[in-house]
Chain A
Amino acid sequence: MIKDNSKYNVIIIGSGFAGIVAADILAEHDLSILLIDENIHIGGQLLRKIPEELGEYSKYKPEKIKKIGFRFVDKVKNNKIEILNKTALIGVYENNEILIESARKKTLSLKYDILLFATGARERFLPFKGWTLPGVYSTGMLQVLMKSSGVLPAKKMLIAGSGLFLFAAGYEFLKNGGKLQGIMEQSGFLNKVKFLPQLSHQFAKFAEGGKFLARIYLSGVPVKYRRKVIEARGDKYLEEVVVGKVDNKGGLISGTEKTYKTNALAVGYGFVPNIEAPQLAGCKLEYAQEKGGWTVKVNDSLETSVENILAAGEITGVGGAFKSINEGKIAAYSILNKLEIESEKTTAPLLKKLTKERKHHLSFVKCFNSLYDIKKQSILEIPDETIICRCENITMKSIKETINMGCNDPNSLKMSVRCSMGQCQGRTCAPVIYDILHSLCDKSHEEIGLYSVRPPFKPVSIAALNRKAL
């Protein structure tokens, strides 16, 4: 068991592709390495599979990239890296110190020489009337439930939102015996076609996307473009979903509403980087819509603006597994240089090649995120009674009124109306609030800025905090 005040050469936060690839390279050297992840199993959001203790899933055939990923997971588990799963990072402090809450609900203070953030991304939401009803899920939840626990959220469901992930989730649902009532994609079909030439050097991704689309078209599932969810209705849980047509600016065309009877709806609107921990550490951030919003600013060696802190994977720009593997490698070699384990001369040719590869990944990032462009009009059209902050039950009306009173930055808005003050700490609504401020105040995201972040990052019990004052 790990003791309080332990010190490591390298602490890695997040065990997705970037984290485990970096850990694997670092483990070949005489270094003390700690890998921390909040989830039950390591591997991040993409590398999920039916756990051994649950059972055998012989039908499951992971695609090539996931096979590579699972090999990394196994290697990392079998070498001398210390792994803390079910462990949350709750604070980052000066003097190379972090605070974590372990699986046994104890807080521990740890020290590092180098800290690598590989905290990944979470889903982006676009609120609509009734989205708080039980039965409205994210497309990520649909995937997680099937992949990690072998359970479908319902036998029949509707999928809506934007981007290729809707098709990936729909494909899995069909494969597992679900009945898909339809896919409602907010952007037009041409947006996807425009994107294809950019994939010429990313053949694996192209083939994968094509497979999802083909399977869904062949199954006869209705796929509708330029459709958005207007309302989810039901008494105690979801009973019907109202969908309408949108124009090319994202505005609803009145009179086009159609109602679907269903008890389950999965929605997905792309991804936002998990930048809260690097933000607290003082790392400089930059806003780039084409990278998924606010990201951690890094140089070619993936160093952040804070000494001895690096960042890799989705937090430097949402781009999927290939980019995360590439950045995991770059981060590992940069760390070896910084710790003077490898001379810069030996790693230079390798890093040069990896940096060149990274440029290709970054060009993919740009097109990938353009698919998820949430149009200003769809933010402005959110009806007044729609709940924006689910935890504190704050409506669009209250937010608009408070902005009109002069609270035109996230922190004063939060103080006045309590949005983003609940249990999720704004993880769900903050990106929406930033978009609302951007759309209503006609200010750039840089001008609007971000919520300030304070420890603890995640709700933690008083008992766990008792041993250390924050």
Chain B
Amino acid sequence: MENLRIDSIARKEKIKLLVNGKEITAYKGETVLAALIAAGYKSLKQNPVSQDPRGALCGMGVCFECTVTIDGIPNVRSCMTEAQNMMEIEIND
């Protein structure tokens, strides 16, 4: 897998997230969206009308294209949520 994290940042605390039950590595302080992208996920949900794959567009809370289920709560914007250790994330890729 490509390393998409910028090398020159000395990261502090490594954490784990569960994406559809599978463990991925993240760092405390990253957004859930950043952690998902760094783990190689592009498609995050299906459009409810067309069922087409969708992924983040704006990255700043406007477009709602990066919404996922976090710890059982649906429709959460992954770009506006900080990653926490052992967070359970469900995506529909």
Q: Give the B-binding residues of A (Cβ under 8 A).
A: 38-40, 45, 50-59, 86, 122-123, 132-138, 140-142, 144-146, 148-155, 176-177, 236-238, 263, 390-393, 422-424, 427-428, 459
Contacts and interface: CB of A to CB of B under 8 A. Distances in A.
A55 B62 contact: no
Interface residues of B, number: 48
A424 B63 contact: yes
A422 B64 contact: yes
Given A134-B53, A134-B54, A153-B37, A55 B64 contact: no
Contacts of B38: 151
B29 A177 contact: no
Contacts of B20: none
Given A54-B9, A428-B58, 9 more contacts: A40-B31, A54-B27, A122-B60, A122-B62, A137-B57, A137-B59, A140-B60, A141-B58, A149-B34
B57 A390 contact: yes
Contacts of A237: 42-43, 53, 55
Contact of A137 (B47, B54, B56): B56
A428 B6 contact: no
A39 B50 CA distance: 30
B59 A138 contact: yes
A238 B65 CA distance: 15
Determine the main DSSP class of A at the interface with B: loop
A393 to B, nearest CB: 4
A56 B10 contact: yes
Contacts of A390: 47, 54, 57, 63, 65
A298 B37 CA distance: 41
Nearest to A264: B42
Contacts of B82: 40
A427 B33 CA distance: 20
A89 B60 CA distance: 16
B71 interface: no
B19 interface: no
A57 B6 CA distance: 9
Contact of B30 (A45, A140, A149, A424): A149
B31 to A, nearest CB: 5
| Majority secondary structure of chain B interface residues (helix, strand, loop or mixed) | loop
A53 B31 CA distance: 12
B17 interface: no
Nearest to B47: A393
Nearest to B74: A461
B12 interface: yes
A149 B31 contact: yes
B43 to A, nearest CB: 4
A132 B65 CA distance: 9
A78 B3 CA distance: 37
B29 A50 contact: yes
Interface centre among B8, B28, B59, B82 (most CB of A within 10 A): B59
B10 A151 contact: no
B63 A177 contact: no
B10 to A, nearest CB: 4
A38 B80 contact: yes
Contact of A132 (B34, B54, B64): B54
B49 A122 contact: no
6 smallest CB-CB distances across A and B, nearest first, come from A54-B29, A141-B59, A134-B55, A149-B34, A423-B64, A393-B49
B12 A55 contact: yes
Contacts of B6: 57, 146, 150-152, 176-177
Given A53-B12, A56-B10, A134-B54, A154 B63 contact: no
B34 A138 contact: no
A114 B63 CA distance: 30
Given A132-B47, A422-B64, A140 B9 contact: no
16 contacts: A39-B61, A53-B13, A54-B29, A55-B29, A133-B53, A138-B59, A141-B58, A144-B60, A148-B34, A151-B35, A153-B37, A236-B43, A237-B43, A237-B53, A390-B63, A423-B67
B75 interface: yes
